[in-house]
Structure 1
Amino acid sequence: MTPLFRRRTDAHERSVTLIRKAGCHLCDDAERVIARVCGELGVPWEEKDIADDRDLYEQYWEQIPVVLVDGRQHTFWRVDEGRLRKELAG
Structure 2
Amino acid sequence: MSTAEVTVHVREGCHLCEEALAVLRPLVAGHGARLAVVDIESDDALHRRYLERIPVISLDGEELYDFFVDQEDLGRRLRSRRMGGA
| Conserved? CA contact 1:11–1:42, under 8 Å | no
Query: Structure 1 residue runs of 4+, over 6 Å off?
Result: none
| Conserved? CA contact 1:51–1:57, under 8 Å | yes
User: Partner of 1:29 in structure 2?
Assistant: 19
Taking the aligned partners of 2:45 and 2:75, their CA distance within structure 1 comes to 28
Identity of aligned residues (%): 31
Q: Look at both structures and tell me which one has the larger radius of gyration over its CA atoms.
A: 1
The SS at the match of 2:69 is coil
Total equivalences in the alignment: 80
Show structure 2 runs of 5+ residues with no match: 81-86
Taking the aligned partners of 1:24 and 1:66, their CA distance within structure 2 comes to 12
Give the deviation of 1:11 after TM superposition: 6.5
Q: Deviations over 1:27-68 (max 9, x none)?
A: 001001110111100101110111101121111111000001
Q: Alignment RMSD, CA only?
A: 1.2
> So what's the TM-score if we normalise by structure 1?
0.82
1:1-90 paired onto structure 2 within 5 Å: 10=1, 12=3, 14-90=4-80
Show structure 1 runs of 5+ residues with no match: 1-9
> So what's the TM-score if we normalise by structure 2?
0.86
